[in-house]
């Protein structure tokens, strides 16, 4: 997420900083009371059946209805009175255009029906979808909801990946309701957003102006239905499979290691270079491949009004169908459907500032589709290497656990957004009682608020995955303060940083992913929610206007975080969930 709050000091009058200090359980309510535990729950009792069945499906979530516009001043921001919208209805076809047959919904009504693109600034209205001729990949993908359903005995779990900035937990619940309404006997749906910065505003904070929501409830319903459709189709295609898993380290592939495809914009320089895969194979055919890596899909920057899934286009296409470089070289794919799961992207993991050198020696620094696809294809080729050396798992056991937690809204800008209704599709909860607050309730010191979210733990034999409801800074779960995770040739602390973090005060290990207990452990970023950045408290520093401006020395992430309590509460509650899973 890019900050928009620093330009709004007036929000200070709408909300005051909260100082809540408890463990994230408001009103004495124990979130473990609504724990999901399969196959140990009453509706998913354990059986002796170890057969693993998997199905997969892909559904489009390209917005069904929106209008385009003319950017008169070329700044990519729609301004009333300066720019002109094209009043051509949902299909964006005007009289005289090729394919025009008749007026459709919204055409000629004098009202602009936009899709606001999430990321960077408000008022970045969409003009269309990326075309197939704009990059390296020959077959273009749109915006997808991809579902893989994993079934064993009485336990059935769906993992859904969405090409989007981040869907909040209340929308995830609505997706689950849409699935449940089909009678599909799914015990749990885990939703992971890609965090694409060229996708519709699914959170609300990127509308026409800051004080107006950019969230479109009609588009949300479209996505809810697409998720249910994908899960239903995946269940219809369930097949007996074997499971493989593997991992490679990007630091071992390039002279500058993982910095070839991702840059760290904040000290300390700590980047998780691992690309992991889980592959499901039926006979000799790949059914589905899960790809795990941590990077913002934002290679185009803010100078575009074209919707796209970002580098996921190249990564998924490479694993499925193979890569193809400009000199004709490449690698074959493995078939099936690939799903990309993002990791700890905070702090900030992005390819925007990386100089990407592809296997042919071509260097790409400028932000464009060729760079974006180069990043994707490189990630895809690393995933293919992980597949090539993957281990086969004999009779992997499937288990899923999930619990509710509450996180305090300390950020005064976010408090104001709740008060103004910008986050109107998501309720805030009274910190005192745990009850949902009425929409547009004024928040602040006199009315402390929490958001309700969740943590999921998914076990697939030797692979463990745990969700974080936002953008985790990698050091929050892997440490790295002794240069263990600093890319080759890099420095833990930039010597020119005028306000460097004191890493001697950072927490000591072991760190969370070291203790998760799997042979391969994944942190699923933006898992079932998007609450912003999750920053270690030792390095949490506010600017002069608390939460509205960043402190010197690259402290942007604080402006788009709930507050310093988020990560400690998550670590405590996630640790309790792991202990519960292990019978402690």
**DSSP-assigned states of every residue in 355-375:** -EE-TTS-EE-S-SHHHHHHH
Q: What is the mean pLDDT of the segment spanning 366-373? A: 91
Q: What is the pLDDT of residue 137?
A: 60
Q: What is the pLDDT of residue 1?
A: 45
Looking at the predicted structure, is the pLDDT value of residue 478 above 90? yes
With respect to residue 214, please indicate whether it lies within any of the assigned structural domains.
Answer: yes
Looking at the predicted structure, is the pLDDT value of residue 82 above 50? yes
Q: What is the pLDDT of residue 108?
A: 97
Q: What is the pLDDT of residue 12?
A: 36
Domain that holds residue 391: 31-62+133-411+447-581
With respect to residue 555, please indicate whether it lies within any of the assigned structural domains.
Answer: yes
The 3-state DSSP class for residue 336 equals: coil
Looking at the predicted structure, is the pLDDT value of residue 296 above 70? yes
The 3-state DSSP class for residue 286 equals: strand
Question: In total, how many domains does the chain have?
Answer: 1
The 3-state DSSP class for residue 243 equals: strand
Please give the structure tokens belonging to residue 566.
């988020």
Rounded to 5°, the CA angle 507-513-514 comes to 80
Looking at the predicted structure, is the pLDDT value of residue 140 above 90? no
Looking at the predicted structure, is the pLDDT value of residue 59 above 60? yes
Q: What is the pLDDT of residue 134?
A: 66
With respect to residue 6, please indicate whether it lies within any of the assigned structural domains.
Answer: no
DSSP secondary structure letters along 115-160: -BBPSSSTT-B--EEPPTTSSS-SS----EEEEEEEEETTEEEEEE
Classify residue 518 as exposed, middle or buried by CB count within 10 Å of its CB (0-12, 13-18, 19+).
middle
Alpha-carbon gap, residue 344 to 292, rounded angstroms:
10
Q: What is the mean pLDDT of the segment spanning 478-502? A: 97
C-alpha neighbours within 13 Å on the C-beta side of residue 21: 1
Task: Specify which residues 306 forms β-bridges with.
Answer: 128
Confidence of residue 210 (pLDDT cuts 50, 70, 90): confident
Alpha-carbon gap, residue 399 to 416, rounded angstroms:
40
Confidence of residue 31 (pLDDT cuts 50, 70, 90): very low
Torsion angles phi and psi, residue 54, rounded to 5: -135, 140
With respect to residue 123, please indicate whether it lies within any of the assigned structural domains.
Answer: no
With respect to residue 109, please indicate whether it lies within any of the assigned structural domains.
Answer: no
| Mean pLDDT computed over every residue of the chain | 92
Alpha-carbon gap, residue 276 to 523, rounded angstroms:
11
Q: What is the pLDDT of residue 136?
A: 66
């Amino acid at each position: 997420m890019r900050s928009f709050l620093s330009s709004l000091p007036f929000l200070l009058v709408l909300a005051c900083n909260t100082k809540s200090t408890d463990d994230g359980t408001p009103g004495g309510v124990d979130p473990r009371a609504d724990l999901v535990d399969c196959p140990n729950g009453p509706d998913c009792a354990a059986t002796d059946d170890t057969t693993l069945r998997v199905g997969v499906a892909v559904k489009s979530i390209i917005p069904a209805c929106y209008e385009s516009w003319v950017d008169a001043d070329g700044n990519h921001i729609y301004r009333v009175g300066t720019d002109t919208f094209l009043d051509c209805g949902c299909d964006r076809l005007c009289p005289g255009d090729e394919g025009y047959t008749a007026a459709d919904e919204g055409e000629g009504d004098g009202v602009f029906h936009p899709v606001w693109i999430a990321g960077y600034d408000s008022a970045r209205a969409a003009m269309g979808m990326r075309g197939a001729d704009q990059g390296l990949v020959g077959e273009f993908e749109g915006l997808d909801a991809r579902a893989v359903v994993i079934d064993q005995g009485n336990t059935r779990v769906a993992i859904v990946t969405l090409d989007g900035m981040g869907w909040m937990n209340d929308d995830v619940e609505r997706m689950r309701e849409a699935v449940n309404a089909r009678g599909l006997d799914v015990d749990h749906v885990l939703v992971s957003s890609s965090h694409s910065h060229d996708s519709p505003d699914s959170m609300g904070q990127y509308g026409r102006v800051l004080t107006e929501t950019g969230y479109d409830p009609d588009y949300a319903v479209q996505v809810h239905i697409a998720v249910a459709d994908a899960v239903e189709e995946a269940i219809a295609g369930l097949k007996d499979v074997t499971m493989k898993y593997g991992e490679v380290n990007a630091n071992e592939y390039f002279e500058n290691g993982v910095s070839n495809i991702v840059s760290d914009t904040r000290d300390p320089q700590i980047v998780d270079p691992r690309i992991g895969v889980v592959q499901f194979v039926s006979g000799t055919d790949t059914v589905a491949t899960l790809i795990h890596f941590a990077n913002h899909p934002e290679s185009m920057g803010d100078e575009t009004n074209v919707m796209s899934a970002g580098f996921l286009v190249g990564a998924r296409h490479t694993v499925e169908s193979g890569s193809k470089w400009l000199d004709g070289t490449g690698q074959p794919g493995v078939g099936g459907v690939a799903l990309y799961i993002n990791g700890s992207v905070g702090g900030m993991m992005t390819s925007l500032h990386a100089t990407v050198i592809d296997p042919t020696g071509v260097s790409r620094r400028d932000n464009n589709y060729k760079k974006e696809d180069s990043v994707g294809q490189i990630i895809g080729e690393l995933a293919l290497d992980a597949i090539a050396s993957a281990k086969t798992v004999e009779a992997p056991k499937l288990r899923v656990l999930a619990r509710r937690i509450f996180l305090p809204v300390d950020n005064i800008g976010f408090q104001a957004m709740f008060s103004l209704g910008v986050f109107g599709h998501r309720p805030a909860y009274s910190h005192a009682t745990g009850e949902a607050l009425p929409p547009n309730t004024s928040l602040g010191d006199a009315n402390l608020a929490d958001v309700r979210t969740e943590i999921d733990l998914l076990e697939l034999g030797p692979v463990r995955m745990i969700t974080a409801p936002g953008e985790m800074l990698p050091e929050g779960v892997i440490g790295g303060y002794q240069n263990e995770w600093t890319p080759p040739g890099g420095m833990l602390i930039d010597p020119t940083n005028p306000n460097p973090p004191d890493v001697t005060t950072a927490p000591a290990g072991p760190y969370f992913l070291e203790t998760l207990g799997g042979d391969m452990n994944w942190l699923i970023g933006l898992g079932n929610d998007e609450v912003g950045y999750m920053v270690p408290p030792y390095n949490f520093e506010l600017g002069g206007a608390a939460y509205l401006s960043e402190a010197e020395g690259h402290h942007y992430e604080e402006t788009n975080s709930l507050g310093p309590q988020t990560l400690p509460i998550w670590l405590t509650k996630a640790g309790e969930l792991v202990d519960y899973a292990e019978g402690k």
